[in-house]
Structure 1
Amino acid sequence: MLAGRLDVKSRKFTVEDVPTPKPGPGEVLVKVQAAGVCLSDVHLIEGSLTPLYLPGGVVTLGHEVAGVVAEPGPGVTAWQPGQRVLLQAGEERGGQVWTRGVDYDGGWAEYALATESTLVAIPDDLSFEQASIIPDAVSTPWAAITTTAQTPPAVPVGVWGVGGLGAHAVQLLRLIGAAPIIAFDPLAPARERAVEFGADLALDPGDPDLRMQVGTATGGAGLARAFDFAGVPPVREQAAKFLGKDGRLTLVGLTDKPLTISDGTRFSYLGQQILGHYGSTDEHVRQLVDLVRLHRIDFARSISDVLPLAQAEQAVERLQKKEGNPIRLILRP
């Protein structure tokens, strides 16, 4: 079968033929129908992200995966060939969370192996393209909003970075009733997209009148919740400055750079918090599938383009260059 493989030591990525895996006890072989291209995949290829638990030096990328059951392994009775499924983006092994497509082979391939407990059934009217991005691209901001930040309705929120995760954050914040929703992005097309997805206001973080604009939008109270989806130190410093009393800044974008609070006294006096966030749980993914099933939310606008698996390198390059300002590019084997 064809698979997109990364040599972690050399950071060389190739699409090549590899043997089709066979499911062992408790495993299911899934015929992949769609796999998302995430910025984390780009970071892996560039070298700024390194697997923690990968037993070998080469891995098939792809942690956003949907398809149909091809072959249940020995002892698997809950899944039958032909069932439509998405795969959780990771699983717990020995007390550690292993990420699909990072610590073990993922879904940039014609077939993917999955532990049976990591499969989630999807409704017939949910496309494989939309289903594939629910783990991570949608579930990560959903978990950040609902669990880490514990965002209540009718409070002012700020979203920094309206890319693959931030665009969904705007949509999901609208769903839970946060208001006003203020998006921050230096790119005009991203700001336009933020408004289309439900932001009440979209601002350029470099605007000299930014403080006045945020103050006006929040009635002088500042932000109750702020979310960094960019993973850039200046963004975090700026977001922290706009927090109001008891405000919380949740760090979703990843960076290895230090975090600086310019006025620690004010930060402490106002009882503000900075919270780290990574990924989501199985429950967050299942909640989102239920919301889609009940027609509360739709992710059709998130699919920027669909490319054949053989063009995975071009997809990565397009995401690196933000060509066409994509939310999610999808690979189809």
Structure 2
Amino acid sequence: MAKTQKAQQYDARDNKLHLNEIPIPEPKPHEILVKVVCASLCHSDVMHFEPNDQGLILGQNPVTIGHEATGRVVQPGSNVKGFKEGDEVGFICPVECCFECKPCKEVHNAWCVTGKTMMQGFSRDGFFQEYVCVDARNTMVLPKGMDVASAAPLFCAGVTSYHGVEDCELEPGQWIAIVGTGGLGHLGVQYAKAMGLKVIGIDIVDQQLEEAKNQGADYVFNSMTDKDYIKKITEITGGGVDAAANFTASKKAYDDMPALVKPGQGLIMVVGIPQQPIQFNALDIALGRYRVKGSNNGTCYNMAPCIEFSAKHKIAPHITYYKLEELPKMIELMHEGKAQGRMGVKFD
């Protein structure tokens, strides 16, 4: 095997991507060396290039970006059990955490009691490179029949959107609004329909709304061009949706959410991360007009249920493939809101 590989690395000194030649890593005893099959682009990756006060931290510079991917096992570490060469696997990005404390098991690895957690793609080299070492505890063999390339977005977008819907704790037949029907939301629509919910898709891009309809949304609304969309949703649902899950990075979308949900029992689910802090009225919350909740976007403990549910219900991302050299183009398309579904670099 070659000693070096190509990687798309972000450099904070010029705020740009560079296609660099870097060493192929060797797995530590608890790691697996994986040949990446597909790495897909998430809006969180684009946050590297944007002003942001929401907690994005770099631990090295330059750093290979990307934190959702799939691949094939090349070499398990000396202490790794349950994986063999050639296994098709997916994986998530937290490293250096203990995986055993209450936050790691029940909240998120970011809050590990050790305080040492790093995220591949941000504070450690991520997945837009040909080979990567991943923690075996963050890795699972794909269910039989699941396509290894198109499954890549499930290991961030999928887990995030699945739990963003499931954690609303709705019963079949209740109403959910999926705010933002793009890369995350088009999966959220699929999960919601598979859970038996009635779905309203909201976006500002007609192409995204068309995708939501294709995925089974009962109604869709363009919140930019239809000024009466909230009134219409209130009438359709008999007072408002039971929950609204926001998958966008739009503060304006969050500002509109209280009017979407049913007074006294509606839930606002926070998933997307805008550049600016979001605000809710304290009196509304104190008087129980609505509840606000967040959703865990993926740990090794809640990863498998999403992937298994996806395989059972044949839920798959709408994904367009590019070459590694085209990653800057992918980022430009995401910035301009022209991407439909998910975009991924396919390595083989």
User: Is the aligned partner of 1:236 residue 2:254?
Assistant: yes
For 2:103, the equivalent position in structure 1 comes to none
For 1:111, the equivalent position in structure 2 comes to 131
Q: Aligned partner of 1:330: which letter? A: G
User: Is the aligned partner of 1:282 residue 2:288?
Assistant: no
Kindly report the root-mean-square deviation, in angstroms, between the aligned alpha carbons of the 2 structures.
2.1
Three-state SS of the structure 2 residue aligned to 1:194 is helix
- TM-score, normalised via structure 2 length: 0.86
For 2:344, the equivalent position in structure 1 comes to 330
Q: 1:90 aligns with which of 94, 108, 114?
A: 94
Contact preservation (8 Å) 1:126, 1:292: no
What residue ranges of structure 1 are gaps of 5+ in the alignment?
Answer: none
The 3 A distance-change label for structure 1 pair 267 and 77 is closer
Distance 2:314 2:125 in 1: 30
Contact preservation (8 Å) 1:13, 1:45: no
Q: 2:169 aligns with which of 138, 150, 154?
A: 150
Shift of 1:152: 2.6
Q: 1:191 aligns with which of 209, 216, 228?
A: 209
Shift of 1:155: 1.3
Distance 1:228 1:162 in 2: 9
Distance 2:130 2:277 in 1: 40
For 2:67, the equivalent position in structure 1 comes to 63
Alignment of 1:129-278 (within 5 A): 129-147=149-167, 149-179=168-198, 181-206=199-224, 207-219=226-238, 221-244=239-262, 245-261=264-280, 265=283, 268-278=286-296
Contact preservation (8 Å) 1:84, 1:123: no
Q: Aligned partner of 2:187: which letter? A: H
The 3 A distance-change label for structure 1 pair 121 and 267 is same
Three-state SS of the structure 2 residue aligned to 1:44 is helix
What residue ranges of structure 2 are gaps of 5+ in the alignment?
Answer: 99-111
- TM-score, normalised via structure 1 length: 0.90
For 1:299, the equivalent position in structure 2 comes to 316
Shift of 1:241: 1.2
Question: More displaced, 62-71 or 183-192?
Answer: 183-192
User: Is the aligned partner of 1:309 residue 2:324?
Assistant: yes
Contact preservation (8 Å) 2:31, 2:76: yes
The 3 A distance-change label for structure 1 pair 91 and 65 is same
Three-state SS of the structure 2 residue aligned to 1:316 is helix
Contact preservation (8 Å) 2:51, 2:275: no
Shift of 1:319: 1.9
Q: Aligned partner of 1:113: which letter? A: C
Alignment of 1:20-35 (within 5 A): 20-35=24-39
Q: 2:46 aligns with which of 42, 47, 67?
A: 42
Shift of 1:101: 1.1
The 3 A distance-change label for structure 1 pair 44 and 18 is same
Distance 2:276 2:200 in 1: 25
Q: Give per-residue Cα distances to partners, 1:126-179, cap 9 Å, x unaligned.
A: 1122221111111101112213x2233221111111111111111111111112
Q: Aligned partner of 2:129: which letter? A: A
Distance 1:265 1:41 in 2: 35
Distance 1:283 1:175 in 2: 22
Shift of 1:89: 3.1
The share of aligned pairs that are identical, in percent, is 23
Distance 1:198 1:91 in 2: 37
